Amino acid sequence: MWENTKKISFRGRVAYGSSCFESALITLKYDLNEWKVILNYLWEFTSIQYLDQWSDTIVELIPDNLLEFKTYEEDAFERLSKDKFLYLYKLYQNIDKSIGILVRAIYELGISHAYTVIEGYGESPFLSFSIEENRGWGNKFDGTSLSKIL
């Protein structure tokens, strides 16, 4: 599984995350039309020229970030219009916690390699932990033996 993931481009990985987000919206039975604003922004990563423009926008519409403010005037939003702020503020009321986690995760995925190169990771030490074990949860093991720090 990880080997295949390594073959997916960063844009492809964000697309995969956006697809997972859509699946969550469907599973949680949200009105999908209400979420098209967010989805359009998320999917824009696959076609935008300057990725920093995408990240500057997405960071403003992450539910936890946006809900810090009760009014548009409380923050200096650079990308989000007042109308979009008001729409999203209302949309985010009483959403499932997983929605905010997913939007933030997609954002983090999008910026993860934007300015750095991360080396020294690989999946080979983890391949022995099969998804087939214990109904997908895997058997217990001492994970600290795999730590680079502990």
Predicted TM-score of the model (pTM): 0.74
CA 141 to chain centre: 28
**CA 72 to each of CA 2, 58, 86, 107: distance values in angstroms, whole numbers, following the listed order:** 41, 16, 7, 22
Residue pLDDT, tens place only, 96-112? 999 999 999 999 988 88
Residue pLDDT, tens place only, 30-76? 999 999 999 999 998 888 888 888 999 999 999 999 999 999 999 98
3-state secondary structure of 127: coil
20-29, 75-84, 126-135: least confidently modelled range: 126-135
What is the residue type of 40?
N
